[in-house]
């Protein structure tokens, strides 16, 4: 269950869906090739309205992390959640 912002430096509580952004992270489970019905799991992560403007959530080496946006990825002054979707990177 999501309770706080995924940014470790932020302690904003999750209260409403319209505040910030939820991210679905799909992670492959070891041995999925042998159990096709259990090929992945989904976890939800939330960035508050302020953090989503400067951070992205990435899956790296099986760990979910926050990473600052590069200058190229910075949102426009009229920030939209569609831009946040485009900035989410899973590697």
pLDDT digit string (tens) for 7-39?
999 999 999 888 999 888 876 555 545 555 555
pLDDT of residue 39: 54
pLDDT of residue 2: 85
In the chain, pLDDT over 70 holds for what percent of residues?
A: 64
Rounded Cα–Cα distance for residues 73 and 71 (Å) = 5
Report, as an integer, the average pLDDT of 41-56. Answer: 89
Decide if 64 contacts 43 (C-beta within 8 A).
yes
pTM, two decimal places: 0.65
Give the model's confidence band at 91: pLDDT under 50 very low, under 70 low, under 90 confident, else very high: very low
Residue with tokens 């009229």: 78
């Amino acid at each position: 269950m999501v309770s706080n912002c995924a940014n470790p430096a932020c302690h904003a509580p999750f209260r409403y869906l319209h505040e910030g952004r939820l991210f679905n992270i799909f992670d492959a489970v070891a041995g999925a090739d042998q159990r096709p019905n259990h090929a992945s799991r989904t976890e939800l992560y939330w960035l508050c309205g302020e953090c989503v403007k400067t951070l992205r959530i990435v899956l790296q080496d099986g760990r979910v992390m926050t990473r600052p946006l590069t200058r190229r990825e910075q949102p426009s002054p009229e920030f939209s959640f569609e831009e946040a979707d485009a900035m989410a990177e899973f590697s």
